[in-house]
Amino acid sequence: MRKEFRDLAEPETVAELISDLDIGGGTEDVPLTEARGRVLAERIDADLDVPGFDRSNVDGYAVRAKDTFGASEGDPVELEQVGRVDAGERPDVSVESGTVVEIATGGVVPPGADAVVMVERTSRENNTVTVRTSVAPGDSIMVAGADVAAGQRTLGPDTELTSREIGLLSALGLDSVPVRAEPTVGILSTGDELVAPGETLDSDAGQIYDVNSHTIAASVAEAGGDPEVYPIVGDDFEAMKRVLTDAATDSDLVLTSGSTSAGAADHIYQLIDDHGELLRHGVAVKPGKPMLVGRFEATPYIGLPGFPVSALTIFRHFVAPKIRDAAGKPPRKREQISGEMAVTERYKEGRTRLMPVGLVEDGDGNLLVYPVDKGSGATTSLVDADGIVELAPETEQLDTGQEVTVTLFSADVRPPGLLGIGEDDPLLSRLLDKLDAPRYLPLGSREGLRRLRNGIPDVAVAAGPTEREVAAVELGGWSREWGLLVPAGNPEDITSIADVVDDSLRLVNRGRQSGLRASFDAAIEDLAQQRGTDQSALTDAINGYTLTAQAYESPPRRVLAGKADAGLGLRATADRLDMGFVSLGTQSVGVLAAPDRVEKPGVAALEALLSEDDSATDLAGVTLSD
């Protein structure tokens, strides 16, 4: 089996090691049109004056200022217009004493003139211009070089180019600029179980889609690097060596992630050992223990954990700053905010912990922080978290209400407009689509109510016979028909719950958190009472009673895949998937809000949606109750 890592490095040691790696650092010229987001490789000095001529700032008349001295509304002077200069035109006339030249904004101030009078302070009849104000030399003129002067330092090295800098570079006439090359980062996912998105998955053979390649590639781009995703490599030593060699040849940095398969991990380890140098193996951070830092041939190499959340967390914490630095970008402004723990958490193991957390505002606008971790390998944690709380190794507990500092994933992260937890439901999904930035965790009715009681979500959604021992305001609800989903045509001719008990049909059930399961169990209890037996006798007789699936489409999809004869589910789902449906009853779904959160805009918006008269129509036959 895989090697054990006994000598875990301190996070600071690993950060230093990575900081010392030499990745990239070249420069290249890019067209100005592609320069946005890039970083200047060198100082840009102006090579010309901007403007390149004495320019009129207004529409008016170029004059000799002396000719206007003493002029006023009551005592104007009359001067003779001898010509006109438009913008983009070479003056073909000079201004002599007693004369003026009409000039447009942006025009070249003609020889002899030293000021411009705004048109608003003049009037003209034929060639006689009446000037009703006096001007001083220089008035309404931007002299050559006043904006940018030749030789002036305009932008320093390492300046990140936004629209504003691109404007200034345009003014200097540059159509290309020298920028720092983006470090090229080769990305490899390893593992026999991985399949690229878009390809066909064989779940029975334990295949899963490769998450890390695209996640890390997007993260590399976010950090200013140029990602290159290499083919997934499995457990074949020679293939891995070949791809690793390719990546190391063409990249400034190589990142691998995975593999959870022991063979691949050992191969990587051996390849780095044979063809490069292993600088570190293992870091005392949770998640992320199995991290490698080294070189393959001469190319810096970092091995990330296989689980996506771990891989991304380690990438953000240790690798992204290095890529930003190599790209010449300043360290990202760490957006940190304070919040209160919504729950109490206890910890063991003396490792620095980078804990993904979600945020929610309570009714008073205070920020609550709750841990987001469905545990090993969950990809939903990627989007259910808003940031990281970093905990020192010695932290053993965080108490409810304790203040913690959250490092947001980006400056744009905001708490969700609504946080809901509870039953999954197709109508609910559509309601959520109409809200601004909702977050919904479909953990089931029971879990929703439990967490509502603990003060985390704004609303819980509960279906079926639930024990609602929680103070809550019911915002509204609807009812839904539930039963057994069977293949189209109902080949097993199932008509009631009794058939499932008696005919040893293969069932897919829902988990105990689900309101569907609660109604199903209640129906079995009824049947048991009718038959004068106890519930467990019946459930023991059901083939698959303990085989549970997590959301409303999972059981029918197993039926469709031929792995079961019937799945617990909704009529709406049967209709959607063109399946047979054996109705077992109707249950209500209620949306319950925490009493202190009913004024939150997201909660109020959900309540408004629930009370809209036309919702029922909108919802394909589902009847809104309440």
Among residue numbers 6 through 35, which ones bind a copy of itself (CB under 8 A)?
Answer: 32-33
Q: Which is nearer to a copy of itself, 61 or 296 (CB)?
A: 61
| Contacts of a copy of itself in 206-265 (CB under 8 A) | 206-219, 221-222, 229, 234-235, 259-263
Structure tokens at 377: 């390998």
Coil, helix or strand for 68?
Answer: helix
Which range touches a copy of itself (CB under 8 A), out of 280-288, 361-369, 491-499, 544-552? 544-552
198 contacts a copy of itself (rule: CB under 8 A): yes
Q: Indicate which single residue of 338, 344, 410, 611 sits in contact with a copy of itself (rule: CB under 8 A).
A: 410
| Contacts of a copy of itself in 107-126 (CB under 8 A) | 107-108, 119
Q: Indicate which single residue of 65, 82, 104, 604 sits in contact with a copy of itself (rule: CB under 8 A).
A: 104
Q: Which is nearer to a copy of itself, 148 or 398 (CB)?
A: 148
332 contacts a copy of itself (rule: CB under 8 A): yes
Query: If 0-12 CB within 10 Å is exposed, 13-18 middle and 19+ buried, where does residue 360 land?
Result: buried
Binding flags for a copy of itself, 464-503, as an x/- string (CB under 8 A): ----------------------------------------
Q: Which is nearer to a copy of itself, 437 or 471 (CB)?
A: 437
List the one residue out of 265, 299, 91, 289 whose CA is nearest residue 183: 299
Rounded to an integer, what distance in angstroms lies between the CA atom of residue 412 and that of residue 359? 13
Contact yes or no for 546/509 (Cβ under 8 A): yes
Q: Please, what is the end-to-end C-alpha distance for the chain in angstroms?
A: 59
Which range touches a copy of itself (CB under 8 A), out of 69-77, 327-335, 526-534, 585-593? 327-335
Contact yes or no for 117/68 (Cβ under 8 A): yes
99 contacts a copy of itself (rule: CB under 8 A): no
Q: Smallest gap, in angstroms, from Cβ of residue 93 to a copy of itself?
A: 14
Residue 155 identity: L
Q: Smallest gap, in angstroms, from Cβ of residue 66 to a copy of itself?
A: 13
Taking the CB of residue 534, how many other CB atoms lie within 10 A of it?
12
347 contacts a copy of itself (rule: CB under 8 A): no
Q: Indicate which single residue of 5, 13, 30, 59 sits in contact with a copy of itself (rule: CB under 8 A).
A: 59
Q: Smallest gap, in angstroms, from Cβ of residue 272 to a copy of itself?
A: 20
* Parallel/antiparallel/unpaired status of strands 253-258 and 184-190: parallel
Alpha helices per DSSP H over 3-71: 11-20, 65-68
269 contacts a copy of itself (rule: CB under 8 A): no
Q: Smallest gap, in angstroms, from Cβ of residue 546 to a copy of itself?
A: 8
373 contacts a copy of itself (rule: CB under 8 A): no
Q: Indicate which single residue of 30, 65, 82, 143 sits in contact with a copy of itself (rule: CB under 8 A).
A: 143
Coil, helix or strand for 151?
Answer: coil
List the one residue out of 579, 577, 509, 580 whose CA is nearest residue 538: 509
Q: Smallest gap, in angstroms, from Cβ of residue 526 to a copy of itself?
A: 27
In sequence order, what DSSP letters do the residues of 572-614 get, joined into one string? HHHHHTT-EEEEEEEEEEEEEE-GGGTTSHHHHHHHHHHT-TT
Q: Which is nearer to a copy of itself, 156 or 401 (CB)?
A: 156
Query: If 0-12 CB within 10 Å is exposed, 13-18 middle and 19+ buried, where does residue 339 land?
Result: buried
605 contacts a copy of itself (rule: CB under 8 A): no
| Contacts of a copy of itself in 431-460 (CB under 8 A) | 432-433, 436-438, 440, 442
Binding flags for a copy of itself, 148-177, as an x/- string (CB under 8 A): xxxxxxxxxx----xxxxxxxxxxxxxxx-
Which range touches a copy of itself (CB under 8 A), out of 88-96, 340-348, 463-471, 497-505? 88-96
Q: Report how far apart, in Å, the C-alpha atoms of 566 and of each of 492, 551, 576 are.
A: 9, 15, 16
Q: Which is nearer to a copy of itself, 192 or 252 (CB)?
A: 192
Contact yes or no for 447/421 (Cβ under 8 A): yes
Query: If 0-12 CB within 10 Å is exposed, 13-18 middle and 19+ buried, where does residue 7 land?
Result: exposed
Contact yes or no for 516/482 (Cβ under 8 A): yes
Strand partners, 354: 390
Q: Which is nearer to a copy of itself, 192 or 565 (CB)?
A: 192
Q: Which is nearer to a copy of itself, 171 or 527 (CB)?
A: 171
Provide Rg for the chain, Cα atoms.
35
87 contacts a copy of itself (rule: CB under 8 A): yes
Q: Which is nearer to a copy of itself, 263 or 363 (CB)?
A: 263
